[in-house]
C-alpha cells in the first residue's frame, strides 16, 4: 500500500468475521466499520460541511459522472480540488461513474474501449473509458478513487454477467495504468452479479493485484436481500484481510450488519439523505413519515437517545409542521438526523466489536427472519 494509506485492524469478533479498524488517508482517518454519506454534486444536499461534520461523518462520497457533467472537473480543479472547492477537509471518495452510466443514461453504447452516452444536460455524446474516468478522478482529487467497471443489470444471464465481469477486470488493468497520483488510492470493484462462482473468481483475481482497498459492487440493484447477503458472505472473506473493504450502495441496518459480520468496513447509500427530502426520518432502523397525523402533537424528539442537533432542539411536532409546510428547514433537520442515525449505528457496532459483544448486541439484525423494518412504511398502515 502507498505510504499515504494504511489499514489497521484493531479487533476481530470471535464469532463472525466482523472487525474494527482504522483506515488512514491523506485527509485523516476513518474509523471502521463506518457509514459514508453521499454528496453527489460536491455537497450533501441541504446541509453545510460544518453540519455534516457534526453528524460524525468521516469519509464523504462525490460522484464523478455528475461532476463531470456539471460543473466539469476543470472548474473543481480551478477551485483547488474537491476538498477545497466544497469546503470538506476530511477524507473523500469518488466513484468511477460506471454505475451511473449504466443505470441512468439512455442511448449508451458499450464497446471494449468504453461507454458512449448522451449527456442529459445538453444532448452531447460523451465517451467514458477507464483512462478518462481515472483522469477525471485524478483531477477531482478525492483520497479514494474507483476503477471504471461494467455493472450488469439485475436480472441478467450468466453469459452477460461473465462477459461484464471479465471486461471489468480488463478495464481495471487499464485504470491502474492510467492512475497518476500517489496521494490517491485506487480501489478495484468485484462484480459477478448473483453468480457466486463468478464473484469468487473475480475476488480472487483482484486480491492478487495487491490494491490499497477493495470494493464489492453490483449489489442493491434489485436482488432480494438474502441473495445480497450470500454475495457478500462469499466475496468479502476472499479479499485481503489487511485492506479496507467497501460495499457500494448499501445502507440499511440489516444489510450493513450482515455485511459487517462478513468483514466489510465501509458503506454508502443515498437512503438517509433522499428519505430526508421526502419528509421521512430513520429511527431505530424504522422509517417514519413525518406527515403522519400522529406526529402533529407529539412534542418529544425524533429519538431521545440521539445526540444530533435536530433531536437536541426540536420535537416531532415541529418537524411535522415544517414538512407539511414544505419548509426547507425540514429537509435540513431530517438530513442531519438521518445521517447521524446511520453513522451511530455503525459506530455502535464498532464499539461492540472492540468489546467482543457484536453478536450479543447486534445478533438480531443477522437473523434471516428479522423483520426488514426499513422497508416497511409505517404510515401506510
The residues assigned a catalytic role are: 95, 268
State the number of binding residues for Zn ion (CB under 5 A): 5
Other CB atoms within 10 Å distance of the CB of residue 38: 22
CA 319, CA 209: separation in Å to the nearest integer?
A: 50
Only one of the segments 6-14, 176-184, 227-235, 337-345 lies at the binding site for Zn ion (rule: CB under 5 A); that segment is 337-345
x-marked contacts with Zn ion along 101-120 as a string, rule CB under 5 A? --------------------
Annotated binding residue at 98?
Answer: yes
275-334 residues in contact with Zn ion (CB under 5 A) are: 306, 308, 310-311
Of residues 179-238, those binding Zn ion (CB under 5 A)? none
* 150 within 8 A of 109, measured Cβ to Cβ: no
Rank residues 186 and 336 by Cβ distance to Zn ion and give the closer one: 336
Is 204 annotated in some ligand binding site? no
137 is in an annotated binding site: no
356: which 3 cell numbers?
Answer: 467482543
Determine the Cα angle at 194 with ends 188 and 199, to 5°: 40
Task: Kindly tell me which of 93 and 319 has the beta carbon lying closer to Zn ion.
Answer: 319
Q: Are strands 92-94 and 144-146 parallel, antiparallel or unpaired?
A: parallel
User: Closer to Zn ion at the Cβ: 221 or 290?
Assistant: 290
The residue from 19, 254, 316, 337 that contacts Zn ion (CB under 5 A) is: 337
For Zn ion, give the closer residue by CB, 308 or 330.
308
Q: Applying CB under 5 A, does 86 fall inside the site for Zn ion?
A: no
Contacts of 354 (CB under 8 A, 6+ apart): 10, 11, 20
Nearest distance from C-beta of residue 47 to Zn ion, angstroms: 13
Q: How far is the CB of 301 from Zn ion (least distance, A)?
A: 7
Give the count of alpha carbons within 13 A of 42, CB side only: 27
Judged by CB, which is closer to Zn ion: 132, or 344?
A: 344
CB of 276: closest distance to Zn ion in angstroms?
A: 11
Q: In the complex with Zn ion, which residue's Cβ is closer, 287 or 337?
A: 337
Q: Is 62 helix (H, G, I), strand (E, B) or coil?
A: strand
Least CB distance from residue 306 to Zn ion, whole Å?
A: 3
- Confirm if 262 and 237 have CB atoms less than 8 A apart: yes
In the complex, least distance from residue 342 CB atom to Zn ion, rounded to whole angstroms: 11
Is residue 306 marked as binding?
yes
92-94 and 60-62 strand pairing = parallel
Q: Which stretch binds Zn ion (CB under 5 A): 44-52, 205-213, 323-331, 335-343?
A: 335-343
Q: Are strands 214-216 and 189-190 parallel, antiparallel or unpaired?
A: parallel
> By three-state DSSP, how is residue 245 classified?
strand
In degrees, rounded to 5, the angle at the alpha carbon of residue 348 between the alpha carbons of residues 347 and 350 is: 60
210 is in an annotated binding site: no
User: Smaller CB distance to Zn ion: residue 68 or 337?
Assistant: 337
The angle that helices 196-207 and 158-178 make with each other, rounded to 10 degrees, is 20
Q: What is the closest distance, in whole angstroms, from the C-beta atom of residue 269 to Zn ion in the complex?
A: 18
Residue 143 in marked binding region: no
Q: What strands lie across the sheet with 60-62, from one edge to the other?
A: 60-62, 92-94, 144-146, 185-187
How is residue 188 annotated by DSSP?
P
d(Cα 67, Cα 271) in Å, to the nearest integer?
A: 20
Tell me phi and psi for residue 204, to 5 degrees.
Answer: -65, -40
99 is in an annotated binding site: yes
159-186 CB burial, b ≥16 within 10 A, e <16 = eebbebbbbbbebbebbeebbeeeebbb
96 is in an annotated binding site: yes
- 149 in a known ligand binding site: yes
Q: Are 336 and 54 in contact (CB under 8 A)?
A: yes
Q: How far is the CB of 33 from Zn ion (least distance, A)?
A: 20
* Binding annotation for substrate: 95-99, 149, 191, 218
Q: Contact positions toward Zn ion, by CB under 5 A?
A: 306, 308, 310-311, 337
* Binding annotation: 95-99, 149, 191, 218, 306, 308, 311, 337
* Binding annotation for Zn(2+): 306, 308, 311, 337
Amino acid at each position: 500500500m502507498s505510504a499515504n494509506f494504511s489499514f489497521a485492524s484493531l479487533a476481530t469478533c470471535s464469532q463472525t468475521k466482523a472487525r474494527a479498524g482504522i483506515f488512514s488517508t491523506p485527509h485523516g482517518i476513518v474509523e471502521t466499520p463506518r457509514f459514508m454519506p453521499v454528496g453527489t454534486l460536491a455537497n450533501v444536499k441541504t446541509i453545510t460541511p460544518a453540519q455534516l461534520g457534526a453528524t460524525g461523518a468521516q469519509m464523504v462520497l462525490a460522484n464523478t459522472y455528475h461532476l463531470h457533467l456539471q460543473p466539469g472537473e476543470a472548474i473543481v480543479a480551478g477551485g483547488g480540488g474537491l476538498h477545497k472547492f466544497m469546503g470538506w477537509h476530511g477524507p473523500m471518495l469518488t466513484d468511477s461513474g460506471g454505475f451511473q452510466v449504466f443505470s441512468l443514461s439512455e442511448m449508451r453504447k458499450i464497446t471494449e474501449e468504453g461507454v458512449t452516452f448522451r449527456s442529459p444536460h445538453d444532448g452531447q455524446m460523451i465517451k467514458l473509458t477507464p483512462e478518462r474516468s481515472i483522469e477525471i478522478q485524478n483531477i477531482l482529487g478525492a483520497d479514494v478513487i474507483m476503477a471504471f467497471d461494467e455493472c450488469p443489470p439485475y436480472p441478467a444471464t450468466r453469459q452477460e454477467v461473465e462477459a461484464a465481469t471479465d471486461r471489468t477486470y480488463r478495464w481495471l488493468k487499464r485504470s491502474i495504468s492510467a492512475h497518476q497520483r500517489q496521494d490517491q488510492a485506487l480501489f478495484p470493484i468485484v462484480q459477478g452479479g448473483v453468480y457466486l462462482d463468478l464473484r469468487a473468481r473475480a475476488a480472487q483475481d483482484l486480491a492478487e493485484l495487491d490494491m490499497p482497498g477493495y470494493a464489492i459492487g453490483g449489489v442493491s440493484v434489485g436482488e432480494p436481500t438474502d441473495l445480497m447477503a450470500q454475495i457478500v458472505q462469499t466475496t468479502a472473506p476472499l479479499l485481503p484481510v489487511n485492506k479496507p473493504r467497501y460495499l457500494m450502495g448499501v445502507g440499511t441496518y440489516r444489510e450493513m450488519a450482515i455485511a459487517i459480520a462478513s468483514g466489510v468496513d465501509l458503506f454508502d447509500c443515498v437512503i438517509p439523505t433522499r428519505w430526508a427530502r421526502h419528509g421521512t426520518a430513520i429511527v431505530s432502523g424504522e422509517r417514519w413519515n413525518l406527515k403522519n397525523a400522529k406526529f402533529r402533537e407529539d412534542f418529544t424528539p425524533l429519538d431521545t437517545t440521539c445526540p444530533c442537533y435536530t433531536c437536541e432542539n426540536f420535537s416531532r411536532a415541529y418537524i411535522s409542521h415544517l414538512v407539511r409546510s414544505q419548509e426547507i428547514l425540514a429537509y435540513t433537520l431530517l438530513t442531519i438526523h438521518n445521517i447521524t442515525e446511520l453513522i451511530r449505528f455503525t459506530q455502535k457496532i464498532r464499539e461492540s466489536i472492540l468489546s467482543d459483544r457484536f453478536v450479543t448486541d447486534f445478533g438480531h439484525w443477522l437473523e434471516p427472519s428479522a423483520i426488514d423494518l426499513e422497508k416497511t412504511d409505517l404510515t401506510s398502515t
